[in-house]
Structure 1
Amino acid sequence: MLYVILIAAIVIFWLVAIDRPVLKVKFEEGKISQEKGHFPPTFKHNVIDIASHAPFSGELKVYQQRTGVKLVFSKQVPKKVQQRIRNVFPHQGFKSKGNKKAS
């Protein structure tokens, strides 16, 4: 019985505490230094263009949620750059995995 509780605790910890973004991009002085996950080509082109005009360092993470996607920026990314990236973000490129019935 104890092993079942231990396994359940490990699974709950894994689901809650582990950071699992769909896309993770690191920037250093306006250049993409690291990317992990699905990065649509048009979005990548737009982000590179934004970063070349206003160089910044920081990190962008995209999380999949039930209601859609959530963009999370590190504190080093300026607010104006964050808004420009949000404006070009392709919400259609990050569809939720579940099947939704149209009513």
Structure 2
Amino acid sequence: MLYVILVAAIVIFWLVAVDRPVLKVKFKDGAIQNVKGHFPPAFKHNVSEIGEVTPFDGELKVYQQRTGMKLVFSNQVPKKIQQRIRNVFPHQGFKSSNGNTKKGR
């Protein structure tokens, strides 16, 4: 019985504590260094262009939520760059790693 409770606690901890973004992108001097997840080509082009104009370092994570996608930036990314990236983010039709798309209501 104790093993069942221990396994359940580990599973609950894993579901709550593990960071699972749909897309994770790392930037160094405005260039894309590392990508994990589906990075739409048009969005990738726009973000690369923003990085060429104003180089920055940091990280972008995209999370899937019930209400839509949530963009989370590291503290190193300036607020003006964050807003420019939010403006070009394709909220409609952004595919998660399992291939599902969020349909509008």
Using the size of structure 1 for normalisation, the TM-score is: 0.91
Question: Which residues in structure 2 correspond to 1:19-38 (within 5 Å)?
Answer: 19-38=19-38
The question of 1:75 aligning with 2:75 is answered: yes
Give the equivalent residue in structure 1 for 2:49.
Answer: 49
How far is the alpha carbon of 1:4 from its aligned partner?
1.0
How far is the alpha carbon of 1:94 from its aligned partner?
2.4
Distance 1:98 1:11, change over 3 A: farther
Q: Which runs of 4+ in 1 moved over 2 A?
A: 93-100
The question of 1:87 aligning with 2:80 is answered: no
Distance 1:73 1:7, change over 3 A: same
Number of aligned residues: 101
Secondary structure of the residue aligned to 2:10 is helix
Conservation of the 8 A alpha-carbon contact between 2:31 and 2:48? yes
Residue type of the alignment partner of 1:75: N
Measured in 2, the distance between the counterparts of 1:95 and 1:49 equals: 22
How far is the alpha carbon of 1:3 from its aligned partner?
1.1
Structure 1: unaligned runs, 5 residues or longer: none
Using the size of structure 2 for normalisation, the TM-score is: 0.89
How far is the alpha carbon of 1:39 from its aligned partner?
0.4
Conservation of the 8 A alpha-carbon contact between 1:46 and 1:88? yes
How many percent identity over aligned positions?
Answer: 77
Residue type of the alignment partner of 1:18: V
* CA root-mean-square deviation: 1.9
Distance 1:40 1:28, change over 3 A: same
Measured in 1, the distance between the counterparts of 2:102 and 2:89 equals: 22
Deviation string, structure 1 residues 32-64 (Cα, Å, up to 9, x no partner): 010000100000000000010000000000001
Measured in 2, the distance between the counterparts of 1:16 and 1:68 equals: 19
